[in-house]
């Protein structure tokens, strides 16, 4: 969930940069990759270096996300909104891009809410299992 929070922060900062700066997308990504508040997103450094070499945003993001998905830090459902964002980022005007980013933030928030519900549901189950196992061990010892 912390990773999803970082991606929400990234999308918010990206939206602000696109809306208020006149920099092109590669400059914006470079600035965000160097941002102290986004140090937890190591994928941004890889994305920035690939975009700087001339790779498209969509291709750079797909390569960068493959490394995150292989480490199991994020599942494919969580990555889908961001993948959709980078497929179309830079292909429309500022209004279209900010609308796309807003949609992405909403979709990430929905995934985060679903993850919280799953964590709560499974957490209760594991706590109950742990308690029952502890009781069983006490009964066996007595």
Digit-coded pLDDT (tens) for 103-128? 999 999 999 998 888 888 888 888 88
pLDDT > 70 fraction of the chain, expressed in percent and rounded? 97
Collapsed DSSP state (helix, strand, coil) of residue 71: coil
Identify the residue whose tokens are 């519900």. 117
**Which of 2-11, 61-70, 118-127 shows the highest mean pLDDT?**
2-11
Question: In this model, does residue 1 exceed pLDDT 80?
Answer: no
pLDDT on residue 42: 82
* Closest of 72, 89, 76 to residue 10, by C-alpha: 89
pLDDT on residue 107: 94
- Residues with Cβ within 8 Å of 103's Cβ and at least 6 positions away in sequence, in order, are 81
Question: In this model, does residue 56 exceed pLDDT 70?
Answer: yes
Contact yes or no for 98/18 (Cβ under 8 A): yes
Please report how many Cα atoms fall inside a 13 Å half-sphere around the Cα of residue 136, on the Cβ side.
6
Question: In this model, does residue 99 exceed pLDDT 90?
Answer: yes
pLDDT band at 63 (very low <50, low <70, confident <90, very high): confident
């Amino acid at each position: 969930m912390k990773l999803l929070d970082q991606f929400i922060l990234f999308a918010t900062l990206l939206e602000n940069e696109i809306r208020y700066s006149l920099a092109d997308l590669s400059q914006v990504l470079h600035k965000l990759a160097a941002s102290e508040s986004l140090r937890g997103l190591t994928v941004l450094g890889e994305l920035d270096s690939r975009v700087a070499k001339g790779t498209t945003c969509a291709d750079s993001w797909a390569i960068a996300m493959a490394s995150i998905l292989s480490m199991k830090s994020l599942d494919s459902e969580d990555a889908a909104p961001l993948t959709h964002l980078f497929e179309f980022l830079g292909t429309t005007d500022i209004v279209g891009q900010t609308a796309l980013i807003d949609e992405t933030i909403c979709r990430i928030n929905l995934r985060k809410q679903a993850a919280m519900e799953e964590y709560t549901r499974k957490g209760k189950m594991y706590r109950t299992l742990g308690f029952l196992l502890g009781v069983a061990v006490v009964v066996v010892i007595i």
